[in-house]
Amino acid sequence: MSIAIHPVTEADRAFWFTLDRHLIREEFARKVRDRMGYVLAADGRPTAILRYSLFWDSIPFCTFLYVKEGARRRGYGRLLMEHWEKDMKARGYGLAMTSTQENEEAQHFYRAIGYRDCGELNLPFPGYEQPTELILGKAI
């Protein structure tokens, strides 16, 4: 099995939106331009994606990570996160952050790869209500 991770490009657009139902279309071009997204391919087949932004304009914050159904628990999520963390470290950042809802399975994944809970976010605003969002961080 060969695994390759590349910064997202325009050529990934169609695949990207098969997994990411949240990103606003115009924001995709920005992720490409700013190299703030990655695609993992397994044996040449795109399989997982990660995008991030900067919390406080200074801390890398993973805003979306998704491994295709049927390809989970094979280490791809971990590989993608580790690739991103190395990339962030090489750019001079010392902390990586992310978040996930308290009713989602992903929290177990993040803790397994070294993230620690460091806060909670609640949005008691009409139209924005959701289960508590757990905030996690990891020194890199």
Ligand X SMILES: CC(C)(COP(=O)(O)OP(=O)(O)OC[C@H]1O[C@@H](n2cnc3c(N)ncnc32)[C@H](O)[C@@H]1OP(=O)(O)O)[C@@H](O)C(=O)NCCC(=O)NCCS
The first and second tokens of residue 29, run together, are 């071009």
| 100 part of the interface to ligand X, by CB under 6 A | yes
The first and second tokens of residue 61, run together, are 């914050």
| 66 part of the interface to ligand X, by CB under 6 A | yes
Applying CB under 6 A, the span of 33-41, 51-59, 63-71, 121-129 interacting with ligand X comes to 63-71
| 108 part of the interface to ligand X, by CB under 6 A | yes
Query: CA 94 → CA 88, 89, 97, 133, 138, distances in Å?
Result: 8, 6, 10, 23, 9
| 106 part of the interface to ligand X, by CB under 6 A | yes
The first and second tokens of residue 79, run together, are 């590989």
| 72 part of the interface to ligand X, by CB under 6 A | yes
Going 55 to 90 to 15 to 74, the CA torsion angle's sign is: negative
Site size toward ligand X, by CB under 6 A: 18
| 3 part of the interface to ligand X, by CB under 6 A | no
Binding residues vs ligand X (CB under 6 A): 64-67, 72-78, 100, 104-106, 108-109, 112
